[in-house]
Structure 1
Amino acid sequence: MIKNIHSYWAYIVLAILIYTVINAIIGLVQKKEFTHKDFRLGLFSLITAHIQLLIGLAWYFMSPWYKMLKANGGQAMKEPMVRLLSVEHPLAMIIAITLITIGWSKHKKQVKSESKFKSFAIFYGLALLVILAMIPWHNWLG
């Protein structure tokens, strides 16, 4: 059940994060004023990503990959699929959430709209790239 929630919630996170990054790039390029809508969009991205992290951590500690890693770490690391799901994916997602959190914190310290959009575009954009690179697509789409 938690695995399904984690998988379906990921669609929400991706959709919102993609929209936020595109919105930030458009705001930056077109030199728009940073509005309350932009603020809420960034906050909603932050919240949904953190919820996904919590769901993912709950699933991780119940997953067979964690149990394999815990039982025989050496053998688990030799199997690419187990390594991806037990080490690489969780670590990359923690890095992505950290980037989103840094982007959120940096944007709050900025005064100019351009700087706020730039913080979102850079940090949320990097987080999006990390997430897209480390999604286990074979499990997700299959």
Structure 2
Amino acid sequence: MYSIVTNVHIVLFVLVFLLGLNLLVRAIRGLSSGGAFVDADRKAGLFFMISLHTQLLIGLVLYFFLSPVTAAAFADFGAAMKDPATRLIAVEHISVNVIAVVLATIVNAKNKKDIADAAKHKNALIFNGIGLLLILSRIPWSRLFA
């Protein structure tokens, strides 16, 4: 079960990344052209946020119920904090990714308000750009290609 859920988590990351990239490209185009914040821009942000929330839920199932890495980390948290690879999974990965999900949720809510289209594109670019960078910074790359 662990390997199936882990593989779903990995495959969903690819979707999250592609949706985030699409969103950032749309935001850059909107800002550079001075274009309106259209329904497709709103949906790009919404789909990115939904994919992040889904990814978070799958990650929480792994984190609290299925992962032998987090189970071992919880058994001896002091030792886990001394090992960079274990600390990445047990603390950094989940903490930073929760922050990224919060950023995407905040910008989605902000962009529902009646503000200028340029501000919506700027919000999408900044908040989601930071969120995507945070996600990329805390992926356990060594585990993906091992």
Per the normalisation by structure 1, the TM-score is 0.96
Q: How does 1:87-98 map to 2 (within 5 A)?
A: 87-98=91-102
Aligned counterpart for 1:75 among listed residues 58, 72, 79: 79
Distance 1:129 1:3 in 2: 21
Opposite residue 45 of structure 2, the aligned amino acid is G
Matched, 1:33 2:19: no
Deviations 1:40-70 (A, max 9, x none): 1111111011100001111111211211121
Q: What's the counterpart of residue 88 of structure 2?
A: 84
Q: What's the counterpart of residue 22 of structure 1?
A: 25
> Unaligned stretches of 5+ in structure 1?
none
Q: How does 1:56-135 map to 2 (within 5 A)?
A: 56-61=59-64, 62-135=66-139
**Distance 1:103-1:129 versus aligned 2 partners, 3 A rule:** same
For the aligned residue pairs, the C-alpha RMSD in angstroms reads 1.0
Distance 1:137 1:105 in 2: 31
Distance 2:105 2:139 in 1: 20
Q: What's the counterpart of residue 141 of structure 1?
A: 145
Opposite residue 117 of structure 1, the aligned amino acid is H
Q: What's the counterpart of residue 52 of structure 1?
A: 55
Count of residues in correspondence between the two structures: 142
Distance 2:91 2:115 in 1: 39
Distance 2:42 2:34 in 1: 16
Once superposed, which parts of structure 1, at least 4 consecutive aligned residues long, lie more than 3 Å away? none
Task: Say if 1:17 and 1:45, in contact at 8 Å, map to a contact too.
Answer: yes
> Unaligned stretches of 5+ in structure 2?
none
Shift of 1:111: 2.6
Per the normalisation by structure 2, the TM-score is 0.93
Opposite residue 119 of structure 1, the aligned amino acid is N
